[in-house]
Amino acid sequence: MARCPNCGQKTTGSADYCQYCHHPILKGGRARQRRAQLLARRQAEEAEKLAKKEQEREAREKAKREAEEARKTQEAEKLAKKKAEEEEKRAKAEAEREAREKAKREAEEARKIEEEQKMAVKEAAETEKRAKAEAEREAKEQAKREAEEARKIEEEQKMAVKEAAEAEREAREKARREAEESRKAQETERLAKKQVEEEEKQAKVEAEREAKEKARREAEEARKTQEAERLAKKKAEEEEKQAKAKAEREAREKTKQEAEEARKAQETERLAKKKAEEEEKQAKVEAEREAKEKARHEAEEARKTQEVEKLAKKKAEEEEKRAKAEAEREAREQVSLEAELARKAKEIERLTILEAEREAREQAKREAEEARKTQEAEKLAKKQAEEEERQAKAEAEREAKEQAKRGAEEARKIEGEQKMAVKEAAETGKRAKKETEKESRIIASLKQIENVCEELKAGKVSTKEALDKLKDISDKMPE
C-alpha cells in the first residue's frame, strides 16, 4: 500500500488517486513521471493559448465597443446640431414674423395718429368757424343795440327841443352838458373797447405762444419716448443675444442636456421679448393717454380762448384769420414732422432686422466652424485610440511570445534537470526520495493548472488573473 503525500494515509495500490482525498499518486518509473511532466507542460501551453485567445477576443470586443460608442456619439452630435439648426431657423422665422407684425402695428398706430390729427385740425377749423359766426352775430346785436340807444337819445333830444321853447337857455345849456357827457361817455367806451381789444390780442398771442410751447414739449416727449423704446428694444436684443450665446455655449459643453437647455433659452428669450413688448405697449399707451389728456386740456383752453374772443370785434376777425393761417401751417408742419418720425422709425426697424439677420448668419457660420473642429478632434481622438489599440495588441503579442519562450526555456531546463535527476537516482536513495517529493509537488502544480484552466473556461476568473496564477504556479514549480 502507498502512502498519500497529501493526507498521509495509506491507500490501496490499485488506483492512481488517494481513496480519501483523491490526490494523485505517482507510480511506476521515470518514464511515467516524464509523461506526467509533458502532460503538465502541454496543459500549461494550452492554458497559455486559451489565455492569449481570450485576451485577443477581449481586445476585439473592446475595440468594437469603442467604435460603437464613437458612432453613437457622432450620431448624437449630428442630431443635436440638426436640432439646434432647426431651433435657430424657427427662432429666426419667429423674430422676422414678430418684426413684421410690430412694423404693421406701428404703421397702423401712425395712421391712427394721423387720422386723429386730421380730426383735431378739422374740429379746430369748425370751432374757429363757429366762433367767427358767433362773434359776427354778437357784433351785429351790439350795433343794433347801439342804434336803438341812438334812436332813443334822438327822440329824447326832440322832446327836449319841444320843451326848450319855454326855457331855451336852460335847454341849450342842458343839451351842451348832455353832449359833453355823451362825448365823454363815447370816449370812455372807445378807450374801454380799445383796452379790451388790446387785452384780447395779448391773451390770444399768449395762448398761441403757450400752444406752440406745448406742441414743442409734446414733440420732445414723443422723441424721448421713441428713443427710450429704441434703447429698451436694443437692450432686449442684447440680452437675447447674450442668452442665446450662453445657451449655445452650454449646449456645446453638455451635449446630453442640449435639448432641455435650448428649450429653456428659447423660453427665456420669448419671455424677455414678450416683457419688452408689454413694456413698450404700456409706454405707448401711456404716451397716447398723456397726448389725449394734453389735447383735452388744449381743447379746454381753446374753448376758454374762444369765449374770450367772442367779445372781440371786426379787428379781432382779422387777427383770427391770421391765427387760423398760422395754425394750419403749424398743423401741416406737425403732420409732416410726425410722418418723418414714422418713416425714420420704419427705417430703424428695417436696419434692426437686417442686423439681426447678419448676426444670425455669423452665428451659424461660427457654429459650423465649431462643429467642423469638433469632428476633426473626434477623428484625431479615434485615430489615436486605434493607434493605442494596435500598440496594446502588439505589446500583448510580444508579451505572449516572451511568455511562451520563457515556458519553453523552463521546460527545457526542467527536462535537463530531470535527466540529471534520473542519472543521480541510481546512486542514492535519498536523492530518489527528494525526487519523489518534487514529483508530488509537480503533480500538485499540474492539478492547480487544471483547476485554473477549468475556472478560466467557466469564466470565474479573467484572463489576466489566470495568467498571474499560472505564472505563480510556474514559479513555485520545482526545477
Question: Could you report the per-residue pLDDT of 126-142, keeping only the tens digit for each?
Answer: 888 887 888 788 878 88
Q: Is 214 left (phi over 0), alpha (psi -120 to 50) or beta?
A: alpha
Structural domain spans, the chain: 2-69+385-476
CA 128 – CA 150 distance, rounded (Å)? 32
Distance CA 456, CA 270 (A): 62
Instruction: Give the mean pLDDT of 373-394.
Output: 79
Q: Output the CA torsion sign for 151, 155, 158, 163.
A: negative
Question: Confidence class of residue 432 from pLDDT cuts 50, 70 and 90?
Answer: low
Does the CA dihedral 441-444-446-449 come out positive or negative? negative
Question: What is the total residue count of the chain?
Answer: 479
Most confidently modeled range among 94-98, 371-375, 376-380, 469-473: 94-98
Cell of 409: 526555456
Contact (Cβ atoms closer than 8 angstroms) between residue 332 and residue 125: no
User: Of the candidates 410, 404, 406, 403, which has an alpha carbon nearest to the alpha carbon of residue 477?
Assistant: 410
Confidence of residue 122 (pLDDT cuts 50, 70, 90): confident
What mean pLDDT, rounded, does the chain reach? 77
pLDDT at 171: 67
Confidence (pLDDT) at 428: 67
**With 70 as the cut, is the pLDDT of residue 234 above it?**
yes
Give the model's pLDDT for residue 27: 61
Q: How far apart are CA 97 and CA 230, in angstroms?
A: 19
For residue 26, the model assigns a pLDDT of 64
pLDDT of residue 315: 76
Helix (H, G, I), strand (E, B) or coil at 477: coil
pLDDT at 30: 61
pLDDT of residue 456: 77
Chain segment 209-232, per-residue pLDDT in tens = 887 787 778 778 877 877 877 787
In this predicted structure, the answer to whether residue 307 has a pLDDT above a threshold of 80 is no
Cβ atoms 363, 89 nearer than 8 A: no
What's the confidence (pLDDT) of residue 454? 79
Of the pLDDT bands very low, low, confident and very high (cuts 50, 70, 90), residue 197 is confident
Q: Are 40 and 451 in contact (CB under 8 A)?
A: no
Q: What Å distances lie between residue 184 and 61, 152, 156, 178, 191, CA to CA?
A: 130, 18, 19, 10, 10
